[in-house]
Amino acid sequence: MKRSSIGFVIFLVIAVGAIYGISRLTSRLNQPESSTPPVQGETAEFQKTNAEGQGLMPTPAGNVKGSPEAKVKVVAVLPPSSCQVPTLRILDEIAKAEPKRVRVEIYGMGSPKGQQVLQQYGATCASVFINGKTEFTLTSEGQTRQVICQKSPGMSYQSTDLIEIVHMELKRLYGEGFSEKTLKELREKGRQIVGGGHGVSGMGSTKAKVVVEVLSPSQMGTLYPLFAQTVKVLEQLKEKYGDELSISVYPVMTAEGQKRMGELKLNGPAVVINGKTVHEIPGPNKTKRKIVTAIGTSGSLFSPKDITEIVAAYMKQAAKK
């Protein structure tokens, strides 16, 4: 009887262990694989930035900055989502830049005040109301476009559009927008925020033999570590090649990035080298190696090392001409 009981206990332990192991395996199989492995050092930066943005999320009473007498009033009703971090940070910069003429109020979508604001304007999704409106017409560099400050940035508006809209409203109501210095600083901070530390930058000259344009994803995206590491590698190559290498970085979440994507006929983040995203470079044993540097156009991703090899190959080609 005693042996039978011991045997039953051993069987029960083994059975429970087997069920647990199968459950863990099933759970792993059902989890989507990450498109890119994390790059050492970049994950910590991502988490730091995300934490800063989450720290700007409103308390139940809301997050209010600026004078109650301000003529420009920005009221944002947002969910506690990482995709809203760029908008939160840019609104914070706007509030700090013009505390007397701009009032910024941020409420959570689940809060009573947030629901009240949404009902007041007949909205049902995340929204940023500037003087009671979410729809605006923006004109820059000869191009006019309609923006709707609702849902997640990158869909019907870019987070950096808020800078331009507030600037426009300041001019309308006060006769003068942000000062030239403040506007320049806000635009640069906005590019840095949505580009994960990389604004629109140019490191080039008319002597360039190789021209690289990086259409970088948002820092909140899973592809950000790959592009951040690629930019670092390109900066190192710039030190090596000097004026022979031109580098520009365009965050795709900015108006400049969207415009450049349209001009290059791209659908997503990419590294464009000498106007191309498909490259053939020398491989081992006199073979040719094909590398695609646009996301979504091939089954595999490029690496920062691939970019180094492509640039080196084009430099050699240019030297022979």
Least-confidence region, from 93-97, 154-158, 167-171, 232-236: 154-158
211-235 in b/e form (b: 16+ CB < 10 A) is ebbbbbbbbbbebbbbbbbbbebbe
Q: Is-same-fold flag (44-194; 201-320)?
A: yes
- Range with the largest mean pLDDT of 145-149, 164-168, 204-208: 164-168
User: Domain coordinates of the chain in residue numbers?
Assistant: 44-194, 201-320
What pLDDT, on a 0 to 100 scale, did the predictor assign at position 156? 86
Interval 37-57 mean pLDDT: 50
What pLDDT, on a 0 to 100 scale, did the predictor assign at position 303? 94
Is the pLDDT confidence value at 51 over 60?
Answer: no
Residue among 219, 268, 191, 230 nearest 43 (CA):
219
| Cα distances (angstroms) measured from residue 38 to each of 44, 200, 229, 301, 314 | 10, 24, 10, 13, 29
Mean of all residue pLDDT scores within the chain: 81
The secondary structure element, H or E, covering residue 4 is helix 2-30
Superfamily of domain 201-320, CATH level 4: Glutaredoxin (3.40.30.10)
What pLDDT, on a 0 to 100 scale, did the predictor assign at position 32? 36
Is the pLDDT confidence value at 276 over 70?
Answer: yes
Residue among 268, 259, 196 nearest 41 (CA):
196
The span from the CA of 128 to the CA of 185, in Å, is 22
Interval 251-256 mean pLDDT: 79
Is the pLDDT confidence value at 96 over 60?
Answer: yes
- The more confident residue out of 312 and 249 is 312
What pLDDT, on a 0 to 100 scale, did the predictor assign at position 76? 96
Q: Can you spell out the DSSP letters for 11-76?
A: HHHHHHHHHHHHHHHHHHHHSPPPSSPPPTTHHHHHHHHHHHHHHTSPPTT-EEES-TT-SEEEEE
Out of 3.40.30, 3.30.110, 1.10.10, 3.55.50, select the CATH number for domain 44-194. 3.40.30
Q: Which tokens go with 314?
A: 């084009």
Q: What is the pTM of this model?
A: 0.62
> With bands split at pLDDT 50, 70 and 90, how would you rate the model's confidence at 43?
very low
- Judge whether 96 and 185 are in contact, CB under 8 Å: no
> With bands split at pLDDT 50, 70 and 90, how would you rate the model's confidence at 203?
low
The span from the CA of 206 to the CA of 190, in Å, is 28
Is the pLDDT confidence value at 220 over 60?
Answer: yes
**Running DSSP on this structure, what letter comes out for residue 285?**
G
Least-confidence region, from 139-148, 162-171, 287-296: 139-148
Q: Can you spell out the DSSP letters for 109-175?
A: TTSHHHHHHHHHHT--S-EEEETTB-EEEEEETTEEEEEE-BSSTTTS--TTHHHHHHHHHHHHHHS
Query: In the block, which residue shows the tokens 């600037």?
Result: 167
Three-state secondary-structure class, residue 216:
strand
Q: Which amino acid makes up residue 240?
A: K
Q: Can you spell out the DSSP letters for 221-257?
A: STTHHHHHHHHHHHHHHHHHHGGGEEEEEEETTSHHH
> With bands split at pLDDT 50, 70 and 90, how would you rate the model's confidence at 26?
very low
Is the pLDDT confidence value at 173 over 50?
Answer: yes
- Range with the largest mean pLDDT of 129-138, 191-200, 239-248: 129-138
69 contact partners, CB below 8 Å, separation of at least 6:
100
The span from the CA of 106 to the CA of 103, in Å, is 10
Is the pLDDT confidence value at 225 over 90?
Answer: no
